Structure 1
Amino acid sequence: MVKRQNEFQSIQDLMKDVIKENKLTKGMHQLSVKEAWANLMGNGVVSNTDKVELQGKTLIVKLKSSVLREELSYGKEKILKMMNEELGEILISKVLLC
């Protein structure tokens, strides 16, 4: 049982504690990455995306269109930078487009 703390904490801090204690960080990062991809890439790219996942520090994006994959491959560094900025921390060190 957890001891009651006399000090007040924000909801955000409490949620971080719950996520950390229950080892949910990896799953929360997966959700954050998918949400960031949808926010940054727009409807055209998102509608041609099959899967977005984070494996270790590698962002793996499976695309339906080979033309789109080729076009996005020219901007991998920009995608990497934008995704990390959107996530608020450096979670991604490599982008793999499949």
Structure 2
Amino acid sequence: MAKRLSNEGSISDVLKQFIEVNKLESGMDKIDVEQAWKNLMGNGVNTYTKEVVLKGTILYVSLTSAVLREELSYGKDKIIKMINEEMGKEVVKSIVLR
């Protein structure tokens, strides 16, 4: 049976508890990582980004530009660090550029 929540608490606390109890964190991380990519990479990269998908701890990014893919491949470690800082926890451990 579900645990009853007290009526005294902020909405953010209640939502965090709801997400935790119902094991929705991985789904929320998928959405948050996609948003973090868009915020960090800017309009130039987002123009050529077709798809951003998080599977486990691997971030798959589909790009329409081979030149951009090659350029981003040199900075994978930096991108991983920036995304994890944006998320506030270690979500991404590796990136696959396609």
TM-score of the aligned structures, taking structure 1 as reference length: 0.90
* Secondary structure of residue in 1 paired with 2:14: helix
Provide the residue aligned with 1:74 in structure 2. 74
Partner of 2:50: 50
Identity %: 49
Q: Determine whether 1:29 maps to 2:24.
A: no
1:47 and 1:4, CA in 2 relative to 1: closer, same or farther beyond 3 A?
closer
Aligned-pair CA distance for 1:21: 2.3
Secondary structure of the equivalent of 1:31?
A: helix
| One-letter identity of the residue aligned with 2:52 | V
Q: Which residue of 1 aligns with 2:18?
A: 18
Q: Secondary structure at the match of 2:83?
A: helix
Please state how far the C-alpha of 1:55 moved relative to its aligned partner.
Answer: 0.7
Shift of 1:32: 0.1
Report SS of the residue matched to 2:4. Answer: coil
Q: Which amino acid aligns with 1:72?
A: L
Residue type at the aligned position of 1:89: K
**What is the aligned partner in structure 2 of residue 87 from structure 1?**
87
Unaligned runs of 5+ in 1: none
- SS in structure 2 at match of 1:50: strand
* Structure 1 residue 4, shift from structure 2 partner: 5.1
Gaps of at least 5 residues in structure 2 are none
1:18 Cα deviation after fit = 1.2
CA RMSD after TM alignment: 1.5
Cα displacement string for residues 12-50 of structure 1 (whole angstroms, at most 9, x for unaligned residues):
211111112233212111110010000000011011011
